[in-house]
Each structure stands twice: as structure tokens, then as C-alpha cells.
A and B are shown apart, each in its own frame.
Chain A
Amino acid sequence: MLGRITTIALTVTLLCCPWRAEAQEFDPRPALSTLISAFQHCGPPQAYQLLSPYLFTLVAQQTAGQGCYAPIAAAGVVTKMEVIDHATFPAGPLYIVRVTHVAGPVDWFIGFDQISSKVIYLTFQSVTGPTPSVAAGADQSANLGLVKPPKPVKPVDEPADSKSDEPADSKSASCKKFPQMCP
């Protein structure tokens, strides 16, 4: 069904607050092309080295160690890849790439770690509505409920935005016990 969305991996980029947008020089397409090919053909093994350790493991788990996804393979040969949006976050750059397969277009979200250059975020969704943007994030269903865009998913240890009932850190019970840890 159109609109049905698939996610390959779930690592999350911070979809809030891009601090600069100057990633034009980096081209995400070679890496994405390599990965799509690997996901279609179950290899070669070195292609998966583009992934962060977590994504590598996730892909392995999701594919029972095979490294390939039937729906991606079914999409067929890639005929065109076009970067349609990007932004740079503290963790690294995030791109949206519209990939046209012989079966039709798909929008891929691919994020890179700015230090290691490994892929730390990867998901895709079918092209159904308005052109996606980094600001809007991936479609809600693209993350299968584990990520909830457009609200950014933060690392688990970051204070939530809306927990107004929680004490301010400097006034918390923990801070009273350990004031040196609450400068």
C-alpha cells in the first residue's frame, strides 16, 4: 500500500535546533547508494561498515543476519538520487535523499556522525504527501512508533521538555544531597 512506510533503523538524530546548515560539500549519495545496494543484495559485508555499531547490529537483527530487506530489493534498480533537504546537528549532518527506483521514488533520511562519519540514522518513507523536510522530520509511521516525529526524540537522559512538575535541577532532592554536582 502506498503510504506504508518502512524503517530500517531507529537511531535518532536530534531533529531540533540545527546549529548550522553548511553540509553542502558532503555528498551522502555514495554512502546511501552503497547501503541500498547492500540492502537489496545482502552484501557485500564491507558495505555495512558504513553503519554505526548500533545500526549495524540493528540491521543484523532485523534481517536475521542477512543484511537485506525484501521490500527494498523489490523496489528495483536505483535510477536517480537527489538531495532534497539537509541540516547539520550537533551529532552531525542529516540529509533527505529522494531515491528513484524503477518502481518509484522513496525518501530516505540518512544521518552521519560528524566525528566518525558513520551512518547513525537511517530510515525511509514512501513519497505520498508534501516534500519532506528535515525540520518536519520523518513521517510519523516511518519509525514504527519507536520514534515520534515531529517531536524530537532526545537521548534518554535528557530532561523532557514538558515535565513542568519535575523540580528544576538545582532545586532537586539530588542536588540538595550532592550540591557539587549541581553547579
Chain B
Amino acid sequence: MINLVNRRVVLGGLLAIIPACACRAFSQSAGYSGCWVGPSRGKASDYSNSGVSDITGESLVFKSGVDGLEAALIQTLDMLSSMFGVLPGFAYFREKSEPNAKAMSFDLLKERPDGTVLLGLKLLKELLALPEHPDAAVVAVCAHEFAHIVSYSNGYISQLTPTPQSSPFRAEQFADYMAGYFAGRRKLDRPDFPAAVFATTTGMYGGYTHGNAEQRGNAVQEGFLCAYLRKLEPQAAIQRALQFALSEEVPTVPQ
């Protein structure tokens, strides 16, 4: 018999995925910002000069503190990674201000050279308190952030936000569309999958930069139908998401 040591200490229980992309994103819109997208290609040196260096002061954490969440979420992140063809790092962070999630083109976790998705603990708590399928709401946010990683990885971000002054709106529409696509694929696998929660969740966090609730929900729904009805493969869906996002009129700045 083996005398095995209890290894709770070493079992970090983390899901730090691995990355692939090029650009950065972080959010600064009103309410939940999701992610602010900058057009420059990602380098860590850009990061500190981008005006978002304060997030380095937002401590990263590798456990949510939610019982059982990591074990379950890890499967879903794996699905996202496989479906979208990207492998970003993943961790949680403690927001200094409003609830948020982030997708960055560079490897904040120093594990892989590509990109990172961060889910804020405040946002997580807020999502888990939702009355309707809070677990799906968490996945909706993760899917949105993973979709940003896709746009960095394939370079579409330069079309979605061509200049530093560009509104991130189209990048957000792209990400919402792909989140909806993921929901549609899951719905095909599991007819009871609460896909509509993706649309309402993103809509909750609407705003000027990300689009209002209707715009966001519509993008999610279009992505959903792309998967569920048209049954497009992921690469075709990504193309469709780009077309969709570019066809959307960027909202004017509210006076």
C-alpha cells in the first residue's frame, strides 16, 4: 500500500489555459465593460503604456472560491477553446472598481506567449446571483471573451477597430455573435441548454461602447441562429461574425 500525502496544497485547482493571439483588450465602458479593445498588436510593453496598467495592480487569483466551479468550468472552457480554435490563459482577478472581464492579447500569466482571459470575481459573484441559469451567464461572459481572443488571433481586430480612436462596438458585436454561436452549438448538443440566457446576460451589460441591450442581444441571437439553424462550422461562423459586425452601424457618441 502506498502512503500518499494529502496534496491539497499543491493542487492549485486552477484553470490557466494557454494562449494564441495578438492584440489587447480591456474595458472601460460604462457599467460592465467586458473589454476594451485597442488596435495595436499585443506586446507586454504596450500594456504598460496603454493606460490600462492599473490592471496589473488588480490581483490575479486562480481560484474563484466557489465550490465546484473550477471543475465544471474547466470543461466548458475546453469546449470554447476547441470550438474557437484558441487557447488563452485563464484566471480570475479582483476588480478595483466595477465588475468586469477582460481579454488580452498577451500572456499575463507568463505561461504561454499569446493571450489571457480574466474573469472578475465581482462579476462572477454578480452573475452567480442571477435568478435564471447563472451558470450559463458565466459561460456567456467567458464565450464573449474567448471570441475577442479569436479576433486577436486571426487579426480581425484590425478590421473591427482599425484605429486607436475606433469604437470597440464592432469588436463587441463580433464577440457577442460568437458567444451566441457557442450557445447554438451547445443547444444542438443539449436541447435543454439555456441559450437565451446568453442574450439576456450580454444585454444586461449594454452601453455605448458595447452596444445597447437590443444590439447585444441581437448579435447573440444571430450567432445562435448561425449555429443552430444554419449549422455553420466554427471557421465559417467566424467569417460570418466578422461580416455581421462590420455591417453594423457604429453608434454615435451620445451628447
Residues of A within 8 A of B (CB): 1-2, 4-7, 10-12, 52-54, 56-58, 60-63, 69-71, 74-75, 101, 103-106, 120, 126-127, 143-148, 153-160, 166-167, 169, 172-175, 177-178, 180-183
Residues of A within 8 A of B192 (CB): 159, 169
Q: B1-15 interface mask toward A, CB cutoff 8 Å, 1 = contact, 0 = none?
A: 111111110111111
A146 and B186 contacting across the interface, CB-CB below 8 Å: no
Q: B39-81 interface mask toward A, CB cutoff 8 Å, 1 = contact, 0 = none?
A: 0000000000000000000000010000111111111111101
- 27 A–B contacts, CB within 8 A, in A order: A2-B1, A6-B5, A10-B11, A10-B74, A11-B78, A53-B87, A54-B17, A57-B14, A57-B15, A57-B16, A61-B14, A70-B5, A71-B4, A103-B1, A127-B1, A146-B71, A148-B68, A155-B73, A156-B76, A156-B135, A157-B76, A167-B132, A172-B196, A174-B132, A174-B196, A180-B221, A180-B224
B199 and A143 contacting across the interface, CB-CB below 8 Å: no
Interface centre among B10, B15, B139, B198 (most CB of A within 10 A): B10
B135 and A157 contacting across the interface, CB-CB below 8 Å: yes
Count contacts on B: residues with CB < 8 A to the other chain: 61
How far apart sit A126 and B5, CA to CA, in the bound complex (Å)? 11
Q: Within the complex, what minimum Cβ distance (angstroms) separates B90 from chain A?
A: 9
Residues of B within 8 A of A175 (CB): 196
Q: With A2-B1, A5-B4 as given contacts, are A166 and B195 in contact (CB-CB < 8 Å)?
A: no
B7 and A69 contacting across the interface, CB-CB below 8 Å: yes
Closest to B197 in A: A174
Q: With A155-B75, A156-B73, A167-B132 as given contacts, are A106 and B195 in contact (CB-CB < 8 Å)?
A: no
How far apart sit A174 and B224, CA to CA, in the bound complex (Å)? 14
Contact among A127, A159, A181 with B224 in the assembled complex (CB-CB below 8 Å): A181
How far apart sit A169 and B77, CA to CA, in the bound complex (Å)? 23
Closest to B18 in A: A53
How far apart sit A180 and B217, CA to CA, in the bound complex (Å)? 11
Check: B133 CB closer than 8 A to any chain A CB.
yes
B76 and A103 contacting across the interface, CB-CB below 8 Å: no
Known: A145-B67, A155-B76. 18 other contacts (CB 8 A): A1-B4, A11-B78, A12-B72, A53-B78, A53-B81, A62-B10, A71-B2, A104-B2, A155-B73, A155-B79, A166-B133, A169-B192, A172-B132, A172-B196, A174-B194, A180-B224, A182-B196, A183-B228
Contact among B71, B180, B195 with A147 in the assembled complex (CB-CB below 8 Å): B71
A58 and B12 contacting across the interface, CB-CB below 8 Å: yes
Residues of B within 8 A of A126 (CB): 1-2, 4
Q: With A54-B78, A144-B11, A156-B73 as given contacts, are A181 and B221 in contact (CB-CB < 8 Å)?
A: yes
Contact among B11, B200, B220 with A7 in the assembled complex (CB-CB below 8 Å): B11
Q: With A62-B10, A157-B76 as given contacts, are A174 and B199 in contact (CB-CB < 8 Å)?
A: yes
Contact among B2, B193, B217 with A103 in the assembled complex (CB-CB below 8 Å): B2
What are the nearest 4 A-B pairs in CB distance? A174-B196, A104-B1, A157-B139, A156-B72
A54 and B196 contacting across the interface, CB-CB below 8 Å: no
Closest to B140 in A: A157
